[in-house]
Structure formats: structure tokens, C-alpha cells
Structure 1
Amino acid sequence: MAFDVLEPGLSTTAQDQGRIGYYKFGLPQGGSMDQYSATLANRLVGNTVSDAVLECTYIGPKLVSTTNAVIAVTGAPVDVFVNGQLIPQYERIELLAGDELKFGVIQGGTKYFIAVHGGIDVPEVLGSRSTYPIGAIGGVDGRALVAGDVVPVGVGSDNGLPVVTSIAVDDRPVFSKDVKVRVMLGLYDHNLSAKGLDSLLNSEWMLTPVADRMGLRYSGPGVEWKDREQPFGAGQDPSNIVDAGYAVGSIQIPGGTQPIILHRDAVSGGGYAMVATVISADMDLVARCAPGTKTRFVAVNMEEALAARQENNARAARIWS
């Protein structure tokens, strides 16, 4: 079983839950940018939560199924066509051998996901099938799809769960143009002046088109840093520090102008101060934002962050029961 790639789309890659345990060596976790949407697709087709899917960015691919297959498309709203006929997202769809799958214009967000029963069966690299293009590993030859590729699909098996034919509307992700992103302050928020911290947390920031799997850049009023003598090796700009490790979700503000949220394919360290970190429960929310999304950063404490994570886990457990 496989998909023949007639057109690759803008950037279509195989992704799963990511390459865990190698960030300390400089290799990012990667995986689907919007993990929740990807797992919904896997639930619909009867896969496990860890099976690989295709992640599509803005412009989707045109694929032909070489055999009968069960698929689902979730994530950002987009028109989905099988042999020219419009089919719904968030539903279990059966393809016949020779059926053509293609996509229309995306209507919100940036990324949507194609799951197929059996999973995308590219080789595992360091425990994951996720594509990391900068390192040229995982996926199909470590890169996005190109025309002429053949994307292998694994042999499907029973995951032991009841068949789900559609995802309830209340369980589908929302793609808003105005969001609140919860963050925990630190490690270097103390380098911001009171005015700078107020600007970070009480101003509106807008996502720019400079956004990819590594990070998302925002425009806004900027922030003010405290006047201080820079330590040796930190450079002259107050937003610089002596090199340190970055947490996934870290927010940097180079030069004090445009915040950058580090995402799934982020580098693991460098010389910019991390003033806050997006909580894990809101990383999918950030991934769903399209350029122009109005964003406010809301500071929470550890207890609130853990409660949000537990809420997400409870929702996932209900869907996967």
C-alpha cells in the first residue's frame, strides 16, 4: 500500500509524536506541529497515537492511492477532494485503488494532517519517523515530498478501540485570529525593565509571516531591557546572554523588538535571553495560528500550567477510549 505523489504541495512531511530524548545532543523533538489534530486523524483511521501522518502546510499535495485505504484529514480547515468530489474533514473516509486526493485553499491556520490506516511507513530514525529537514533525517529521505515520490503505508492492525467515524464538533480544535497564549516567566525575565515586562504581558502581538517549524516571529511594541553591564561573552545587546540551553516553547526577543516562540524543530541552545516559555498545553494553539493572528501572552504559575496539561491529557484519554 502506498500513495503516489503527483504534486507535493508547499511543504508536506511525515511526522509523528517526535524524536524524544535527543534534545540534549542538539537534535530537536520535532513531530507534528499540532499534535492534537494529528492524533485525531490517527484515531479516526484506527491507528495508534504514535503512527506517522502527513503534515501539510498551506498548499496540500495531490496523491493517488495504489490500493484501497482508510484515511482522515484533520487540522486547519481546508476543502478536501476525492476524485473531484468534496469530502468532509474530521471523518473516516474510504478510498479505492486509483482514487485521487487533493486539496483546495486553506481557510484558517497553517497545517492540516492526513492519516491513513497503517500509518506512513517511512523508516524510523532514532525512534521516530518524523522528518527533520535541517538534519536531513526521517520521513522520505529527510525532506519534504516531491513529485514522483512513493509514500509507503504500513500494514494496518486492530488497535483494540471502538471504530470512530467522525470527531464531535466540540472535540475539534479551534482556529482563531485572536488568541491568548499562556506562558511561564523565566529564565531571564529579570533582565526586562518593569516597563518591558508590562509591554510583554499587556500588549497585543501579531504573528508575522516569518513562521516555520523552528519558530514563529511576532510584531508589536517591543520591550525595554534593564541597563546592565553585559557579562563577558554575552555581546553588547541587552537581549544577549552567555549561551544557555533553550526549552521548547521559549520566547526570545532579539534586540528587544520582535518576540520569537521556539517550536518543534527549534535549536537547543544559544545566546538570546528566554524571557518566558509557552506552557506545553498551548503549544498546539500556537501551531494553529496563521500570520496576522492577534496574540496576548498571559503569565501563569506552575500549578496552573500542570492543571492545563492534565486537562489536555483527560480530553485525549476520553477520545482514545
Structure 2
Amino acid sequence: MLECTYMGPSLHFSRDTVIAVTGAPVATMVNNEPVAMWSRVLVPAGATVTFGLIEAGTRFYVAAKGGIDVPVVLGSRSTYIPGALGGIDGRKLEAGDVLPLGPASTRPGFPEVPEELRPEFSTSQNVRILMGLYDHKLTERGRENLLSGEWTLTPVADRAGLRYSGPGVEWRDSPQPFGAGADPSNIVDAGYAVGSIQIPGGTQPIILHRDAVSGGGYAMIGTVISADMDLVARATPGTTTRFIEVTMEEALTARRAYAERLERLNELTGQ
């Protein structure tokens, strides 16, 4: 499928196919005729599919029957642009690119994704986090600012990470270990989990997302639970966010609920 950020391409189809458009709400047209999102859409050979600007969120997705038939790299047909891996020469798409479709699946289709299984898009979010590993480096006031303050997503946001502005936090004044650097937000290099929250200098939290580096020298004061990572990815600059501390048990319960939603989708698609 194609991932489209903020605005979409113009797609010309040379054969009859079926598409579905999901994700952020966006006007979708086949030969200038509006069609519904989250539904099977028949596209005849010679038709052109176009899109407006998204109305909320950041990304929408275009899937075509048979999938986009590019080489498999590391078990995936996706594109990782920072590493120039996969897709078409490991880069974003350009005007004139030709995307071959694979053989159509014989699995029965379904008409649309039920409303209750579609994500919500909002200008305010509550993001659940597990505190640690380095939250002990925060003062009580710093911890309170993180969990009680309102944070706003800045325009510095992509698949690698999302930066937030807000009240800032306070770090404890304690000796730094050898090799950690002078700033209290620094640590001796360590591995980063996906969803780690770091606050370089104590000002703007950064949530590390799917394309982030896997390690470095900033303290991780918390981690977004896996069930809320999609929520974070849907946020647009200006989205107000509150970080809500949860327990490991609550995080695991949320993960199970998220997995059940995905299983319902898999049942619909015959996966």
C-alpha cells in the first residue's frame, strides 16, 4: 500500500482493480467522482484517482488489490527512506513512477470497515505511558510537570520522532557518571525502545517512533505504551497532549484490547 502524508498523489490505473483508502479523512475521487473511504472501490482501467488535502491527522493509506509488487527486502515490501531500503530505489515516490500490482488475491472481499473499528482523529489526546528507566533523574516538580502539564505537538514531527512544547521539566542535581556528559538529561549510551520519551535539556519531550535510532545518550524518562503508538502517529502539529501514567498491568490490558481489534479486522479480511 501507499502511505501519503498530508496530501496524496494522482494515480492512473492501466487495468481494472479494487482499491481502499483508509487513515486520515481525505476527499477521494475516481475520475472526479467522490468515493467513500474505508470501503472497496472499483477502479476501471484508464481511470485516475485523485485526493484532496487531509481534514485531520497526518497520513492516509491507499491499498490496491494484489498489492504493490516491489522486491522483498528483509522480509518486507515497505520502504525505509533513511536507509534507502525497499520500495523503488529506497526513496519516496516521484511523478512518473510506475507501480506494478501483484496477482489478485482469491480471498473474498468485504464491503467496508465497520465504524467502530476505524480510528478517531482529535486535536487533543491522552497518551498513556510507563515511567522509567530514568524517571528517577527528575525532581518531584519535573515529574509533576510531565504528568500534569499540557503539551503541544510541534511541527518537528515525522516517522522518526515527535517533539512537544510545554512547561518543561526539572532534573535532579546529581553527579553524572563517567562518559555521560554534563547535562543531567544525558546518560551513558543505552538502547532505546520504540516509544521512548527523552527530554534533551529538560525542555521539549521527544517521542521516538518507528524510524527512530535504536540507541543514544539521552535519558528515557518513560515509554508510550504500544497500544497508543498509533494514536501518537495520527497527531497533527498543534495537537494538545497529556501524558497519563499507567501500570504495567494496565499497559498489558490495553495491548490485549488493541490486539483484539486487529484480530477482528483480520477476520473481516480473511487473514
Q: How does 1:101-116 map to 2 (within 5 A)?
A: 101-116=49-64
Structure 1 residue aligned with 2:130: 184
Q: How does 1:1-321 map to 2 (within 5 A)?
A: 53-159=1-107, 162-321=108-267
Amino acid paired to 1:59: M
Deviations 1:25-73 (A, max 9, x none): xxxxxxxxxxxxxxxxxxxxxxxxxxxx110000111110111110000
Q: Cα offset for 1:210? A: 0.5
Amino acid paired to 2:39: E
Deviations 1:154-185 (A, max 9, x none): 111223xx531111222211001111001111
Greater relative contact order (Cα < 8 A, sep 6+): 1
Runs of 4+ in 1 over 4 A off after TM superposition: none
Q: How big is the alpha-carbon RMSD for the aligned residues of Structure 1 and Structure 2?
A: 0.9
Q: Cα offset for 1:320? A: 2.0
Q: Distance in 1 between matches of 2:204 and 2:70?
A: 37
Deviations 1:267-294 (A, max 9, x none): 0000000000001100000011111101
Amino acid paired to 1:103: F
Identity of aligned residues (%): 62
Q: Distance in 2 between matches of 1:215 and 1:152?
A: 31
Q: Distance in 1 between matches of 2:197 and 2:77?
A: 27
Deviations 1:94-139 (A, max 9, x none): 1011110111011000000001111111111111112111100011
Amino acid paired to 1:193: T
Structure 2 residue aligned with 1:22: none
Q: Distance in 1 between matches of 2:65 and 2:236?
A: 29
Q: Cα offset for 1:319? A: 2.5
Deviations 1:8-35 (A, max 9, x none): xxxxxxxxxxxxxxxxxxxxxxxxxxxx
Q: Distance in 2 between matches of 1:302 and 1:172?
A: 26
Q: Distance in 2 between matches of 1:81 and 1:201?
A: 43
Q: Distance in 2 between matches of 1:120 and 1:194?
A: 51
Q: Distance in 2 between matches of 1:166 and 1:272?
A: 44
Q: Distance in 2 between matches of 1:135 and 1:123?
A: 16
Q: Distance in 1 between matches of 2:75 and 2:88?
A: 15
Q: Distance in 2 between matches of 1:84 and 1:157?
A: 28
Amino acid paired to 1:61: P
TM-score by length of 1: 0.82
Q: Distance in 2 between matches of 1:151 and 1:75?
A: 21
Amino acid paired to 1:81: M
Pairs aligned (count): 267
Deviations 1:183-214 (A, max 9, x none): 11111111011111111111100001100110
SS of residue matched to 1:152: coil
Q: Distance in 2 between matches of 1:63 and 1:163?
A: 22
TM-score by length of 2: 0.97
Q: Distance in 2 between matches of 1:191 and 1:136?
A: 37
Q: Which consecutive unaligned segments of at least 5 residues does structure 2 have?
A: none
Q: Distance in 2 between matches of 1:284 and 1:249?
A: 10
